[in-house]
Structure 1
């Protein structure tokens, strides 16, 4: 039987950034998937705090050099790659001098939410999809960790699904306790829309651009969801119950290791057997 190909997209992965619940699980799942015979690719932002020399990051020339247009502004995409320490897993890093050279991830040294996090999320998710097209690698499953990655769900469903590499991909939204209280930019929705991605696909963000509404709209366009922290906002838990998608709760490392691969296998079983 064909190997399942799983794309993991995360806003943070340990040890490239500081360890927290999201960054730790974002490493654990790809490692576990590879050990269970899956073909794995991983993407994250190349924040300025990542030590290139320590992790031996190097640019992938054939993937770099395109421009991502956000609200009529061109932003250069640079791709770097490194191996996840003590594994054979390749991690692709999305880099851009406007968005990801600062020495912090999502907040500055005063713990203030960056004003351009909206644009950073849009650039990151679109860059991942464009990079996959250049790689010529077709994922069966796309696992999205964190709110910054969540925007890829509607993008794949309504734009990139027209490309044969994405046409059969199943989207799994991994929901962590990464909620923020700040609002995204006032014109976030306008910046988000491109090609066939229209406002009708974002009924919640259209009302207010915040964390809860972003995640609700991402859930609407996902094929499955994983709740990976028991402190996730209960509004998202209840919203997921209104959707006709499989949902799994995994709140500790043992549950994740014991259940994740079976969950993914069930999602793609029919496709791999066909």
Structure 2
């Protein structure tokens, strides 16, 4: 029997970055799923604060070198890889000198939100999909952790699903307490547009480029959602009640650990849609 293939995409994974609720779950779940016999791949940004020597990151030449075009500008994609400590799971790191060499994640040393965070998120999401194409690996399920990963949902649905590797992929948006109060740049939707990804697919971001609207538009284009934290934004929680997709509450860590593999199995078998 062929293994179920699960792609985890996260903005933060412990211990490569500091431990928090999101980075901890992003560390635990891939191992849990792998131990259940599933084939797992993991992607995250290669922030400048990650210690390459400590974790033995090294470049994957055959995957690197793609130019990702955003708003008519070329951005060089570099892929690095390391093993998740104490596991056999490979973590692929999306790197680019302009976007990810800085020593901070979302804010500078004065706590100012990076002005190019929307472009960084778009580059990250598109780079993950392009890397999967070069790997020649077809994910049955794609689990997205954090707002920086969320834009991969509409990209898969309207662009990459035309590729055989993504044609059957189910996208799950994991909802965390990772809200930012600032706004993304006003041209976020303009930069998102490529191929069949058009501005009308982002009705909320067109109104206001805040966190809530980013997650609203990403949820609209997901196949399922998981509530990972009981303290997620109340507006986001309310939206999940109106969606026509399966929404599962796993904010209790014990429930998450006990039921996540069954959730993946049901999603692949499409039992959640019946």
Task: Calculate the aligned-residue CA RMSD, in Å.
Answer: 1.0
Q: Does 1:146 align with 2:146?
A: yes
Partners of 1:235 and 1:36 lie apart in 2 by 34
Q: 1:43-122 residue pairs with structure 2 within 5 A?
A: 43-122=43-122
SS in 2 for 1:43: strand
Report what 1:212 is aligned to. Answer: 212
Partners of 1:190 and 1:117 lie apart in 2 by 14
**Between Structure 1 and Structure 2, how many residues are aligned?**
271
1:123 CA displacement: 0.4
1:94 CA displacement: 0.3
Q: TM-score, normalised by structure 1?
A: 0.97
Partners of 1:28 and 1:250 lie apart in 2 by 14
1:270 CA displacement: 5.2
Report what 1:183 is aligned to. Answer: 183
SS in 2 for 1:200: helix
1:252 CA displacement: 3.2
Partners of 1:37 and 1:109 lie apart in 2 by 42
Partners of 2:125 and 2:186 lie apart in 1 by 19
Which ranges of structure 2 fall in alignment gaps of 5 or more residues? none
Partners of 2:270 and 2:28 lie apart in 1 by 26
1:127 CA displacement: 0.2
Q: Does 1:171 align with 2:171?
A: yes
Report what 2:234 is aligned to. Answer: 234
Partners of 2:214 and 2:230 lie apart in 1 by 19
Report what 2:195 is aligned to. Answer: 195
1:243 CA displacement: 1.1
1:107 CA displacement: 1.1
Partners of 2:2 and 2:257 lie apart in 1 by 22
1:151 CA displacement: 0.1
1:79 CA displacement: 0.2
Q: Does 1:24 align with 2:21?
A: no
SS in 2 for 1:206: helix
Cα deviation 1:17-51 (Å, max 9, x = unaligned): 00000100001110110011110000000000000
Cα deviation 1:161-219 (Å, max 9, x = unaligned): 00000000000000100000111001111011111100111111111111100100110
Partners of 2:108 and 2:270 lie apart in 1 by 46
